[in-house]
Amino acid sequence: MNKNRNEIIWKDIKSDFPILNNVTYLDSASTSQKPTVVINKINELYTKYNANIHRGVYIFSEKTTAEYESSKEKVKKFLNISDASGYIAYTLNATYALNQIARMMEETYLNEGDEIICSIYEHHSNFLPWIEVAKRKHLNLKILYEVNIENIKKTLNRKTKVLALTHFSNVTGDIFDIGEILDYVNNTEYLNNGKCITVIDGTQAVGKIKIDIDKLNPSFYVFSAHKVFSPTGLGVYYVNKNIENKIKPVNYGGDMVNHVETNSCILKEMPYMLEAGTQNYESAIGLKSAIEYIENIGIENVEERLKVLSDYLRKKVMNLDYINAINIEKFFDVLSFSIKGIHSHDIASFLSERNVFIRAGYHCAEPLVSYINHDESLARVSLHIYNDFEDIDKFIDSIQDCYKYLKIK
């Protein structure tokens, strides 16, 4: 499937995304733009076979159901998840998935005095659910300020029941060596045997770097489809079969039960018991098409292209001594920065006047931004395969103008 790198014409890739005509979109860590193939696939659903899934015995419903189910098969293949290893469940977004996981663990597995470890790098979505569970159940929540194997070895202990970690920071552009960490957790006798659940937030990673879930072997791995060229409203999570005994739905309703009486029900098998109510089959079908689009380019080529663009951005930003760039030496794809005396919102608004769209603020990771940038908000550039060197040049030119006009005289 993978194309030879030299066969890819990146200019053509950009033209696959119709919205990118005349704008410089540098906010893909927030959400990705959608290629024509995905837009057409959604159009096809609504013009050719739309019907609710798992309910009808007529052709439309069977077709939509088959597309929905094959979307999960596509995700499994893309992330290398074998049937023996675990399930893919769909929900509303990554935030919802992480909340569901935290609530399930609260109900089935966490007890007063247990310890949860989150890193300071977590997005609010993998922080707040654990803070709330810790409060309700009187658990100890510890923060990991450095994500590396040495610190993991020092911090994890017999009481640690959950390790919640981001794979790829949406602020610093760090990609953590989750493989090494999971290997340690899974193979350390006093932590494993189901005693330490690992919840990996892959929201920034999926679709940008190659991921092999069977090799990583986490308990849960989560992402949002809208960051992977798909429509909004779909969260995806992997559930390892080895924690099936800790899985209990937190939402009840239609389509997740086999039999219902006035005072009880018999749940469907995994993963259907986790999917109460009508699912976002539109986005699921879009995700299948988006993954096919990525597969056609090759995820290795995507990763390589993002590295080349990141290196180009790094070199250009390093020449501007008034920019305080976070993790400039190491960042991949996501670069946060501040300019002394100019608020991040003013930078983003100034650039918007020139049709250059970047993000500004705390990036839903306020503890991290406060920790690394003394409570000051940050502007952020994030790249995807539809960006090119011209986009980066345009960003640099606009930043130079911004500094010229807005710096404190």
Ligand X SMILES: Cc1ncc(COP(=O)(O)O)c(C=O)c1O
What's the min distance (Å) between Cβ of 51 and ligand X?
27
- Distance (Å, rounded) from C-alpha 75 to C-alpha 238? 10
- Cβ proximity to ligand X: between 170 and 217 the closer is 170
Q: How many residues bind ligand X (CB under 6 A)?
A: 13
- Beta-carbon contacts of residue 230 (< 8 Å; ≥ 6 apart): 32, 34, 38, 283, 286, 287, 289, 290
- Beta-carbon contacts of residue 203 (< 8 Å; ≥ 6 apart): 94, 123, 125, 166, 168, 170, 222, 223, 224, 227
- Compute the radius of gyration of the chain from its Cα atoms: 22
Is residue 203 near ligand X by the rule CB under 6 A? yes
The upper half-sphere exposure of residue 230, i.e. CA atoms within 13 Å in the direction of its Cβ, equals 31
The pair of three-digit structure tokens given for residue 250, joined into one six-digit string = 């937190």
Is residue 34 near ligand X by the rule CB under 6 A? no
The interface region with ligand X, picked from 91-99, 139-147, 299-307, 372-380 by CB under 6 A, is 91-99
The interface region with ligand X, picked from 68-76, 199-207, 238-246, 254-262 by CB under 6 A, is 199-207
The interface region with ligand X, picked from 66-74, 92-100, 148-156, 247-255 by CB under 6 A, is 92-100
Q: Which of 28, 198, 224, 240 binds ligand X (CB under 6 A)?
A: 224
Binding mask 294-333 for ligand X (x = CB under 6 A): ----------------------------------------
- Cβ proximity to ligand X: between 94 and 152 the closer is 94
Q: Identify the DSSP state of 225.
A: G
The phi and psi torsions of 6 (rounded to 5 degrees) equal: -70, -15
Report which of 238, 249, 288 is spatially closest to residue 85, judged by C-alpha positions.
238
What's the min distance (Å) between Cβ of 49 and ligand X?
27
The interface region with ligand X, picked from 198-206, 276-284, 315-323, 369-377 by CB under 6 A, is 198-206
Tell how many helices (H) and how many strands (E) occur in the chain. 13, 15
Is residue 94 near ligand X by the rule CB under 6 A? yes
Binding mask 245-274 for ligand X (x = CB under 6 A): ------------------------------
Site for ligand X in 359-378 (CB under 6 A): 364
CB of 116 closer than 8 Å to CB of 164: yes
The interface region with ligand X, picked from 33-41, 146-154, 197-205, 257-265 by CB under 6 A, is 197-205
- Distance (Å, rounded) from C-alpha 22 to C-alpha 371? 37
Q: Which of 28, 100, 172, 204 binds ligand X (CB under 6 A)?
A: 204
Q: Which of 95, 280, 336, 344 binds ligand X (CB under 6 A)?
A: 95
Active-site annotation holds for 364: yes
The interface region with ligand X, picked from 186-194, 201-209, 303-311, 395-403 by CB under 6 A, is 201-209
- Cβ proximity to ligand X: between 91 and 373 the closer is 91
CB of 65 closer than 8 Å to CB of 320: no
Amino acid, res. 297: I
Task: Tell me which of 118, 196, 265, 364 is the catalytic residue.
Answer: 364
Cα 307 to Cα 304, 310, 315, 334, distances in angstroms: 5, 5, 12, 11
- Cβ proximity to ligand X: between 173 and 298 the closer is 173
Is residue 201 near ligand X by the rule CB under 6 A? yes
Amino acid, res. 199: V
What's the min distance (Å) between Cβ of 123 and ligand X?
3
Q: Where are the alpha helices (DSSP H) in 281-355?
A: 281-297, 299-318, 344-353
CB of 219 closer than 8 Å to CB of 243: yes
Phi-psi region of 62 (alpha: psi -120 to 50; beta: other; left: phi over 0): alpha
- Distance (Å, rounded) from C-alpha 321 to C-alpha 318? 7
- Cβ proximity to ligand X: between 104 and 175 the closer is 175
Is residue 380 near ligand X by the rule CB under 6 A? no
What's the min distance (Å) between Cβ of 203 and ligand X?
4
Is residue 338 near ligand X by the rule CB under 6 A? no
Q: Which of 32, 170, 373, 382 binds ligand X (CB under 6 A)?
A: 170
Q: How many residues does the chain have?
A: 409
Site for ligand X in 111-140 (CB under 6 A): 123, 125
| Residues contributing to the site for ligand X (CB under 6 A) | 29, 93-95, 123, 125, 166, 170, 201, 203-204, 224, 364
The residues that are catalytic are: 364
